[in-house]
Amino acid sequence: MSLQDWQEFGWLKEHKTSRLEIADLFAVADRDLKACQTPDLSSDWQFNIAYNGALQLASAALAAAGYKAERVNHRYRVIHSLEFTLGVEAGLIRKFDVFRGFARTIHSSPHSPSRPSSRAWPHVCSAWRWAS
Series of mean pLDDT values for 10-residue runs along the chain (132 residues) = 96 97 95 88 83 92 97 93 94 84 56 54 57 52
* pTM value > 0.75: yes
Strands (E), 36-100: 67-69
Alpha carbon distance 55, 34 (integer Å): 14
Alpha carbon distance 6, 11 (integer Å): 5
Q: Which residues contact 85 (CB under 8 A, 6 or more apart)?
A: 3, 58, 61, 62, 64, 65, 132
3-state SS class at 68: strand
3-state SS class at 110: coil
Alpha carbon distance 99, 96 (integer Å): 5
Question: With contact defined as beta carbons under 8 Å apart, do 50 and 33 qualify?
Answer: yes
pLDDT value of position 103: 59
